[in-house]
Structure 1
Amino acid sequence: MPQTDPKTIKAQLKKGELKNIYYIFGKNVPEVEKLTKQIIKAAVGDNEDFALNKLEGRYLDISELYDMIQMVPMMSEYNCILINDYNCEKPREVMAGIRAEDVNKKLLDALKDIPPQTVVIFNVTGFEVPVKNDFKTGRSVIKDKNKKLFDYAAKVGEAVECPIKSENELAKDIAASVSARGSLISLDNARELADMCQSDTLTIRNEIDKLCAYAGKNEITSDILHNLVHRQSDATFYKLADAVAAFNKRAAFDALDELMQDRDNRGAVLGNITASFIDMYRAACARQKGRQIADVKADFGYVWEFKVKNAFRDSSRMSIRRLRQCVEILRDTNMMLNSGSCDEKIVLEQTVTKMLMTKN
Structure 2
Amino acid sequence: MDVKTVLKQIKQGQIAPIYLCYGTEKYQIQEFVSLLQSQITDPEQRDFSLASYDLADTPIEMIVEEAEMLPFLVERKLILVRDVSLFGTGKDNGKIEHKVEALTSYLSNPAEHSVIVFLVQGDKLDERKKIVKAVKAAGTVLSFMPLGGSELTNWVIREIEKRGSRIGREAAEALVQTVGVQMSPLSTEIDKLCLYAGQGGMIDSAVIEQLVARTTEQNVFVMVEHIANLRLEQALDIFYELLKQREEPIKIASLIARQFRIMLQVKDMARQSYSQQQIASQLGLHPYAVKIAGEQARKFEPSRLKGILSDLAQLDYQMKSGGIDKVLGLELFLLRLGA
TM-score by length of 2: 0.61
Distance in 2 (CA, whole Å) between partners of 1:226 and 1:45 is 41
What are the residue-to-residue correspondences of 1:224-239 with 2, within 5 Å? 224-234=207-217
Equivalent residue, structure 2, for 1:222: 205
Name the SS for the 1:84 alignment partner.
strand
The whole-number CA distance in structure 2 between the counterparts of 1:23 and 1:170 is 24
Query: Does the 8 A contact of 1:87 with 1:146 survive in 2?
Result: no
Q: Does 1:24 align with 2:7?
A: no
Shift of 1:200: 0.9
Give the Cα–Cα distance (whole angstroms) in 1 for the partners of residues 55 and 239 of structure 2: 39
In structure 2, what residue type is equivalent to 1:81? I
Residues 186-242 of structure 1: per-residue CA shift (max 9 Å, x gap): 01211221222221101110111111122223211111112222234437789xxxx
Write the distance in 2 (CA, Å) between the matches of 1:168 and 1:147: 35
Aligned match for 1:56, one of 54, 57, 60: 54
Q: Secondary structure at the match of 1:58?
A: coil
Q: Distance in 2 between matches of 1:91 and 1:103?
A: 17
Matched, 1:191 2:173: yes
Q: Aligned-residue CA RMSD in angstroms?
A: 3.9
Residue 134 of structure 2 is aligned to residue 152 of structure 1: yes
Contact 1:59–1:92, Cα closer than 8 Å, also in 2: no
Q: Is the contact made by 2:61 and 2:99 (CA closer than 8 Å) also made in structure 1? A: no
Is the 8 Å Cα contact of residues 21 and 121 (structure 1) preserved in structure 2?
A: yes
Instruction: Indicate if the aligned counterparts of 2:10 and 2:36 stay in contact, CA closer than 8 A.
Output: yes
In structure 2, do the counterparts of structure 1 residues 34 and 256 end up closer, same or farther at CA, with 3 Å as the change threshold? farther
Q: Is the 8 A contact 2:56 2:95 kept in 1?
A: no
> Residue 183 of structure 1 contacts residue 218 of structure 1 at CA under 8 Å; is this kept in 2?
yes
Distance in 1, Cα, partners of 2:142 & 2:19:
8
Contact 2:171–2:205 (8 Å) recurs in 1: yes
Contact 1:44 1:79 in 2 (8 A): yes
1:36 to 33, 36, 57: 33
* Larger deviation, residues 11-20 vs 80-89: 80-89
Number of the residue aligned with 1:75: 73
Q: What are the residue-to-residue correspondences of 1:287-326 with 2, within 5 Å?
A: none
Question: Residue 63 of structure 2: which of 65, 70, 73 is its match?
Answer: 65
Letter in 1 for 2:111: P
Q: Which residue of 2 aligns with 1:94?
A: 94
Counterpart of 1:261 (choices 238, 241, 244) is: 241
Partner residue, 1:358:
none
Unpaired stretches in structure 1, ≥5 consecutive residues: 131-141, 239-254, 277-303, 307-348, 350-360
Identity %: 23
* Further displaced range: 200-209 or 147-156: 147-156
